Amino acid sequence: MNVLNFVNAFFSDSAHWQGYDGIPARLGEHVRYTLEALALAAAIGLPVGLVTGHYGRGGNALSLVATAGRALPSFGLLVLMTTLLGFGMLPVMIPLVVLAVPPILVTTYEAMRSVDPSPVDAARGMGMHESRILFQVELPVALPLILSGLRSAAIQIVSTATIAAYVSLGGLGRYIVDGLYQRNYEKVVGGATLVAVLALVTLALFWAAARAAVSPGVRRS
Amino acid sequence: MIRIDSVTKRYPDGTVAVDRLSLEIPDRSITVLVGPSGCGKTTTLRMINRMVEPSEGTILLDGEDIQRQPVTTLRRSMGYVIQNAGLFQHRTIVDNIATVPRMLGWGKQKARARAAELMERVGLDAALAKRYPYQLSGGQQQRVGVARALAADPPVLLMDEPFSAVDPVVRKGLQDELLRIQDELGKTIVFVTHDIDEAIKLGTMVAVMRTGGHLAQYAPPAELLSGPADAFVEDFLGGDRGIRRLSFFPSARLELTSDPVIPLDATAEQIAAPDAPYLLVTDADGRPLGWSAPRDLVAGDIRPERLLSHGRPFVPGTDSLRVALDCAVLSPTGWAVAVDTGGRVTGVVSQATIGEAIRSAHAAGRDDEKVAG
């Protein structure tokens, strides 16, 4: 039996499409974890990256934080948090946010730093306020790079949110964890396929968002 | 009037960019700050709109200290043009130009109408309005930069090496355009450049600065060329300042002669009559055809293709003595051809006569200086 047969068997079983352990329910949970973690990570990473990038200060501190964040193993952190805080949503969110903040923070900072300084100089010289310079001069130009940072964070969250299942929460990881435990490889492969598809959908969504939000003058097309 | 009063800019590391500089910038004229890199010309300009704050001294705008008003209000009353135009690449050309009016609270329609009006004024095709900056050439981008600075009709325009990043042909076009716009609008323009030719061409007053932020000389261009204050200014002006100074002398008073000018169908008497080594042959409309020695001309059979080139003609009254001299130097006979605006010959003038005119113009210039002194 090869992998494609597993995939076929998993998705053609009608039992996998309904109930609390059905694909729609698990997919819904997975998307919810992803959105929550991404929103939290963006709420931390974007403002810090935008402000430090605008003023050009704190770059070294940022890269330290980012390196530290990347070096932390998500699974280890999950276990540690669960031991400290008990079961629940919070111990799952912490490793996901820790994972997602560095790419958002670092790319946002770099995106702001790489904006051509002459329009900023011109804007300041014509009497534009600093906040307006940040949002109306720098941000629109830095947007493609910032979106790419959010995109890689989102993809990492999608693939890592499977660990929630280890601490008895839902999501697509449920299939993988349960499948391994039950030696039901059909389930394992089916769950992994769903995660991969969700990652591809995320990519497509970010591509569409970039098309819609980035000015043709910046896209140069 | 902008009055810079013993202003010094010292950076925390001890570097002095501008050293006790005092300058009075007259209204409705172009004042050029020129000098080698590191002379503090850009720092001086940026202190006028407080992009750089002076360490000592004051800058007065119409008698009032510029520190007294909020920095954004001050900057909005001054147009600002920088070297690479600094356009907002995510905004269309029309929205780039409308930036300051929009900041001042104008409605979108009114601001865009104003932007369209300015595009025309700076010589930009209306079809470019919806384009983005990357779709424009360097010269066009710089025109947009000038239009954007003029959008809210500020009385003062600060220009920081605006034309140095474009090629010489485009630069000349932009300079001519600026002079034309200035004729129409009469702004108080402070213009920074490292190019002395640009300074002399554009400036009503030219401030030559030297390394360390010192003012070497502040004078109208003609005066700068006739009497450089010291060896630095003289060296900075270059080796041909005598010739360049002729640009400021009109050619209108040159004594022209039409004796050696004959028509294509000249008679033998007309050819023999003038006591001149060369004759200028003109066509039926009076346009110049070329030069020839009288002995090479046969009445009734003057062939235009056998004549010597008449070279470039000059227009007395429009062109300067420098142009007239150049025409005489380039002419194979040493005589310059004067034409009216329609291209018809009004007379010819020899190098010797132009030389006389230069000497008397210099003498008059010296008298003026004595009076001024």
Q: What domains are there in chain B, each with its CATH number?
A: 2-248 (3.40.50.300), 261-358 (3.10.580.10)
Q: What is the arithmetic mean of pLDDT over A133-147?
A: 97
Of B91, B103, B145, the CB nearest to A217: B91
Q: How far is A10 from chain B (nearest CA, A)?
A: 48
pLDDT per position as a tens digit, B278-330? 999 999 899 999 999 888 888 888 888 889 988 889 999 889 999 999 999 99
User: How confident is the model at residue B373, as a pLDDT?
Assistant: 34
Residues 94-123, chain A, touching B (beta carbon < 8 A) = 116, 118-123
Closest residue by Cα to residue B20 from B10, B9, B6, B39 = B6
Which residues of chain B are modeled with pLDDT < 50? 369-373
Of A118, A124, A215, the CB nearest to B90: A215
Domain A3-219 top-level CATH class = mainly alpha
Residue count (chain A): 221
The Cα–Cα gap between B39 and B19 comes to 10
Whether A127 has its CB under 8 Å from any CB of chain B: the answer is yes
Instruction: Please judge whether B90 and A220 are an interchain contact, meaning their C-beta atoms are less than 8 angstroms apart.
Output: no
Contact (CB, 8 A) for A117 and A60: no
Q: How far is B348 from chain A (nearest CA, A)?
A: 52
pLDDT > 80? residue A213 = yes
**What is the DSSP secondary-structure string of B267-283?**
-HHHHHSS--S-EEEE-
Instruction: Please judge whether B80 and A215 are an interchain contact, meaning their C-beta atoms are less than 8 angstroms apart.
Output: no
Q: Looking at B188-327, which runs of residues are DSSP E strands?
A: 188-193, 205-210, 214-219, 261-263, 279-282, 288-292
Q: Bridge partners of B65? A: B60
For A129, name the nearest residue in chain B, comparing CA atoms only: B72
Give the residue extent of every domain in chain A: 3-219
pLDDT > 80? residue A1 = no
User: How confident is the model at residue B368, as a pLDDT?
Assistant: 55
User: How confident is the model at residue B253, as a pLDDT?
Assistant: 87
Instruction: Please judge whether A122 and B71 are an interchain contact, meaning their C-beta atoms are less than 8 angstroms apart.
Output: no
3-state SS of chain A is CCHHHHHHHHHHCHHHHCCCCCHHHHHHHHHHHHHHHHHHHHHHHHHHHHHHHHHCCCHHHHHHHHHHHHHCCHHHHHHHHHHHHCCCCHHHHHHHHHHHHHHHHHHHHHHHHCCCHHHHHHHHHCCCCHHHHHHHHHHHHHHHHHHHHHHHHHHHHHHHHHHHHHHCCCCCHHHHHHHHHCCCHHHHHHHHHHHHHHHHHHHHHHHHHHHHHCCHHHHCC
Quote helix, strand, coil % in chain B, to nearest 5. Answer: 40, 25, 35
* Phi, psi angle pair for B319, to nearest 5°: -85, 155
Contact (CB, 8 A) for B265 and B335: no
Query: What are the structure tokens assigned to B309, written together?
Result: 């080139």
User: How confident is the model at residue B160, as a pLDDT?
Assistant: 97
Instruction: Please judge whether A121 and B86 are an interchain contact, meaning their C-beta atoms are less than 8 angstroms apart.
Output: yes
ipTM attached to this prediction? 0.86
* A-chain residues near B82 (CB < 8 A): 118, 121-122, 125
Whether B80 has its CB under 8 Å from any CB of chain A: the answer is yes
Neighbours of B251 (CB within 10 A): 25
0.90 surpassed by pTM: no
For B83, name the nearest residue in chain A, comparing CA atoms only: A118
AA letter at B286: G
Contact (CB, 8 A) for B339 and B313: yes
Instruction: Please judge whether B51 and A121 are an interchain contact, meaning their C-beta atoms are less than 8 angstroms apart.
Output: yes
User: How confident is the model at residue B367, as a pLDDT?
Assistant: 59
Per-residue buried b or exposed e for B166-185, using 16+ beta carbons within 10 Å of the residue's own CB = beeebbeebbebbeebbeee
Strands B56-61, B64-65: pairing is antiparallel
The fraction of chain A above a pLDDT of 90, given in percent, is: 70
Of A119, A125, A220, the CB nearest to B88: A119
Alpha carbon separation from A133 to A109, A138, B73, B89 (Å, rounded): 16, 6, 16, 13
pLDDT > 60? residue A138 = yes
User: How confident is the model at residue A198, as a pLDDT?
Assistant: 96
Which site among B80, B88, B94, B158 would you substitute to test the A interface, given the most A Cβ atoms closer than 10 Å to its Cβ? B88
Query: What are the structure tokens assigned to B166, written together?
Result: 């474009």
Q: What is the arithmetic mean of pLDDT over A181-202?
A: 94
